[in-house]
Amino acid sequence: MREFAAELATGTGDPGPYAPFPHRVISRTKETADTTTLVLAPIGGGKGARFSPGQFNMLYAFGVGEAAISMSGDPSEEGTLVHTVRAVGNVSTALSRLKPGDVVGVRGPYGKGWPVDQMRGKDVVVMAGGLGLAPLRPVIYELYSHREDYGRVEIIYGSRSPTELLYYDEIQSWRTRTDTRFQVTVDSADRNWYGDVGVVTQRVPDARFDPARTIALMCGPEIMMKLSAQALEARGIAPSDIWLSMERNMKCAIAQCGHCQFGPYFICRDGPVLPYARIRRFLAVREV
Amino acid sequence: MTSLGDAPIVLTEGTHPFLERFDPKFLAAASANAREMRFETDEYVFREGERAQRFFLILEGKVGLEIEAADRPRLTVQTIGPGEVMGWAWLVHPYHWPVAARALKPTRAIALDTFVLHRYFKLHPDVGYRFVLRLMPVIAKRLDDTRVQLADIHA
Ligand SMILES: Cc1cc2nc3c(=O)[nH]c(=O)nc-3n(C[C@H](O)[C@H](O)[C@H](O)COP(=O)(O)OP(=O)(O)OC[C@H]3O[C@@H](n4cnc5c(N)ncnc54)[C@H](O)[C@@H]3O)c2cc1C
Ligand code: FES
């Protein structure tokens, strides 16, 4: 394994479709007790691959394994990749422990992202639960940097508690913008929290948008997406205008192994972002 | 500090969404002892265990409902904002607040005297019935929201 890492680092060997490109960790920010944001730069320089908001990379922790991790940086920034990782198992824990200077393998970007072209000229509702904000952050950068291209923008972010909020300082500055409403709610909080307490679905009834010309984007636990999609549908948004980012176990990420199958779809190729109209019936099934 | 409005309040259908389409006679009766109350940030609207004698119609601001236990810090479990109502413990034996309510920003609310409401509903059960029918969806919605909260949907 160490030889492989050395080969990668020096760029020797035969790169196949599974070969990760070596990147160096250039910074590491602890977001919460179990979640870390890494900024990576390709070893040897270069601009790195461009990506669309909603796509993901396979990150390879040498000697441990690979995991699908969403792009969570600004898509207009070249030369670096930003990934936010929650330590839940072997690979994600190894990735979370990387320090500046360490090397990590990257292959991607993969998958279909958020329907940015369809969003232009429309109202946009973004709903994130927990770590689900990570794959939505690139699209939030896009919305803010081309604000005039979109109608009303409502962002609703829910977290278990104030200590589990990601990108805390950035959210504070986003919330000061008057051209967008960014609501944050938590399941419960201690006395020092003066924000909203409750679930994201409670924020839907008074969100401001024209249902006939709105695109909704959401990412979070499936139960959160299902209930949020139902709440948006009750407000009149068509299921084909509600887009969900799905997670399934990934191995190859190039539609070869079938690990990520979800109903008739391969999440790595047909998703991870899919319209609710196409997947709603599979969301009710225990394991598809 | 909490300040009670000096002038007595005359409730109308437009005072608060909860009062829409109520009989003017009932609104006139409920105006007796009704007060507009203001709470500064961190001021308690009521505390856990106190006798529930008021029904609140929130006009402005935000109130957090808190639960307390000896072995853990106070926890805010829900927030209530403008256009919403707060407190139905006055309809449920033993008529004590099961939670505390603290203003999380400067808050303005109308407080109805529940003794007046009880008395009116005894004399006019049809209005009481309509009032409860108006309150039930609020209670059902809170129960639904709590259920969703328990499902840990923001994990
Ligand atoms: C498109 C996509 C984008 C993603 N983006 C991100 C991202 O941006 N950030 C991020 O942190 N994650 C992301 N993920 C999730 C991440 O890829 C998975 O969590 C991955 O499995 C982590 O690998 P691991 O080896 O650390 O954990 P694994 O060992 O694969 O464990 C993953 C989960 O399964 C549970 N688990 C593992 N083994 C068992 C077992 N034997 N019994 C019961 N439960 C078990 C673990 O507790 C954990 O919750 C994404 C996934 C997809 C598909
Ligand atoms: S991960 Fe192999 S088919 Fe999608």
| ipTM of the complex as predicted | 0.84
pLDDT for residue A214 is more than 50: yes
A226 alpha carbon, distance to own chain's centre: 17
pLDDT for residue A9 is more than 60: no
Residue A246 Cβ contacting ligand 2 at under 6 Å: no
Q: Which of B79, B81, B153 lies at the smallest CB-CB distance from A129?
A: B153
Q: Which domain holds residue A21?
A: 2-110
Alpha-carbon distance of B35 to B2, in angstroms, equals 11
CB B29 within 8 A of CB B127: no
Ligand 1: which atom is nearest the Cα of residue A88? 48
Mean pLDDT of the A130-144 span: 96
Structure tokens at B144: 């639904």
For residues A144 and A271, state if they share a domain. yes
Give distance in angstroms: CA of A216 to centre of ligand 2: 26
Q: At what angle do helices A276-283 and A222-234 cross, to 10 degrees?
A: 120
The total domain count for chain A is 2
Alpha-carbon distance of B153 to B139, in angstroms, equals 21
Per the domain annotation, does A182 fall within a domain? yes
Which has more pLDDT, A155 or A79?
Answer: A155
- What does the pLDDT look like over B14-47, one tens digit per residue? 999 999 999 999 999 999 889 999 999 999 999 9
Structure tokens at A200: 């994201």
% of chain A exceeding 70 in pLDDT: 93
Domain boundary among A110, A125, A142: A110
Nearest to residue A113, comparing CAs of A219, A260, A5? A219
pLDDT for residue A286 is more than 70: no
For residues A50 and A151, state if they share a domain. no
pTM over 0.90: no
Structure tokens at A123: 């109202």
Residue A259 Cβ contacting ligand 2 at under 6 Å: yes
Q: Which of A198, A224, A227 lies at the smallest CB-CB distance from B79?
A: A198
Would you place residue A139 in the very low, low, confident or very high pLDDT band (cuts 50, 70, 90)?
very high
pLDDT for residue A11 is more than 80: no
pLDDT for the residue A14? 60
- What does the pLDDT look like over A253-265, one tens digit per residue? 999 899 999 989 9
Per the domain annotation, does B9 fall within a domain? no
CB B127 within 8 A of CB B120: yes
CB A107 within 8 A of CB A60: yes
Q: Which domain holds residue B58?
A: 15-150
Q: DSSP state, B41?
A: T
Residue A200 to residue B75, Cβ atoms within 8 A:
no
Mean pLDDT of the A204-228 span: 94
- What does the pLDDT look like over B67-102, one tens digit per residue? 987 777 889 999 999 999 999 999 999 999 999 999
pLDDT for residue A269 is more than 80: yes
- Count of residues for chain B? 155
Nearest to residue A283, comparing CAs of A239, A237, A235, A238? A239
Residue B149 has phi, psi (to 5 degrees) of: -60, -40
For residue B67, give the CATH number of its domain.
Answer: 2.60.120.10
pLDDT for the residue A19? 84
Going through chain A in order, the beta strands assigned E by DSSP cover 21-32, 35-42, 56-61, 65-70, 81-86, 103-110, 123-129, 153-159, 181-186, 196-197, 214-219, 242-245, 261-262, 265-266, 273-275
Alpha-carbon distance of B142 to A18, in angstroms, equals 50
